[in-house]
Amino acid sequence: MVGGDSTPVPGRFEGDIALVTGSTRGIGAGIAERLAAEGADVVVTGRTAEAGEAVAERIRENGGEAAFVEADVRDPDDIAALVDATVGAFGGLDVLVNNAGVETDTGAGEASMDDWEFVLETDFRSYWLCAKRAVAEMDRGSVVNVSSNHAFLTMPGKFPYNAVKAGINGMTRAMALDFGPDVRVNTVNPGWVDIDRTTEGMSDERRRELEAIHPVGRLGTPEDIAGVVSFLASDDAAFVTGAHLLADGGRAAVMQDDTLPDYRARRE
């Protein structure tokens, strides 16, 4: 299949309850909508009520079941209340997707303690606390941690985001061992995805350059990542735990960009 259309699998999560953090927009919203399209009752959560309610309403308009719960995952009390609200709304919890994330445009030599705490509390500590609290409500289930290709390859000025994303892979392995056998834990590592946080204000020339150096000939979409998350959370991945799945359009296969053809041109 060429393009970015990942087709939902009807009934894949029928009867399951899913919680997706950071799901008021972007990749998180795409994941919430995908799981709902596959039959899950979904809790959308984040700090922006208007945006979160819009995602939940979109799910309901498409025939799914969803509720929005406002929460700041930097606050451990909010995390506990979020999981309680999920169980209260739908009667249980089967799938947790840890997706909430922030970043700072700082290097290792210039990042402040505030930068460090902001990123680690949101992108790292919250994953542990959400999983710890959610697993207590699961008879059997699945946790998917959304990391980044920065866990493997990075660029200047992305600290501590890149360090945290590498840490998530290690956290996933630890959780897989400690929460098994009843709960599986895996990571998806997205690359360039066309969302506001990464492409807003990007020039057409820069977009063409990025598309050209991806072996798939394009940037990713939230739907691309949602399809990978859905697979890892589902029984189709019943023998997969402690793994990380790179979803970057082939960028990590590249040694140096100046050796590449224009993949975008090959698609035209």
pLDDT in tens, 214-248: 999 999 999 999 999 999 999 999 999 999 999 99
Burial level of 247, CB count in 10 A (0-12/13-18/19+)? middle
Predicted TM-score (pTM) of this structure: 0.93
Chain centre distance of CA 152:
16
Task: Read off the amino acid at residue 39.
Answer: G
- Tokens read off for 111: 């990042």
CA distance 106 to 256: 24
Question: Which of these CATH numbers, 3.40.50.720, 3.30.70.2190, 3.40.47.10, 3.40.640.10, describes 17-200+221-250?
Answer: 3.40.50.720
Q: Which of 159, 161, 179, 231 is catalytic?
A: 161
Position 3 pLDDT exceeds 60: no
For residue 7, what is the DSSP state?
P
Look at the block and give the residue holding tokens 């691309």: 224
pLDDT at position 149: 95
**263 labelled catalytic:** no
> Percentage of the chain with pLDDT > 90?
85
How large is the angle between the packed helices 26-37 and 49-61, nearest 10 degrees? Answer: 30
Position 4 pLDDT exceeds 60: no
Query: β-strands 95-98, 141-146: how paired?
Result: parallel
- Tokens read off for 141: 């289930």
β-pair partners for 188: 146, 245
Position 267 pLDDT exceeds 80: no
| Among 239, 233, 245, 268, CA closest to 42 | 233
Position 2 pLDDT exceeds 50: no
SS3 74: coil
Query: Which tens digits make up the pLDDT trace of 147-178?
Result: 999 999 998 999 999 999 999 999 999 999 99
CB 155 within 8 A of CB 101: no
CA angle 125, 52, 207 (to 5 degrees): 80
Helix, strand, coil abundance in the chain, percent, nearest 5: 45, 15, 40
SS3 102: coil
Instruction: Give the gyration radius of the chain's Cα atoms.
Output: 18
Chain centre distance of CA 10:
21
Q: CA dist 231 to 7, 8, 156, 259, Å?
A: 12, 10, 32, 33
CB 66 within 8 A of CB 91: no
pLDDT at position 268: 66
Task: Read off the amino acid at residue 208.
Answer: R
What's the pLDDT band for 5 if we cut at 50, 70, 90? low
CA distance 141 to 20: 14
Query: Which tens digits make up the pLDDT trace of 179-204?
Result: 999 999 999 999 999 887 777 778 88
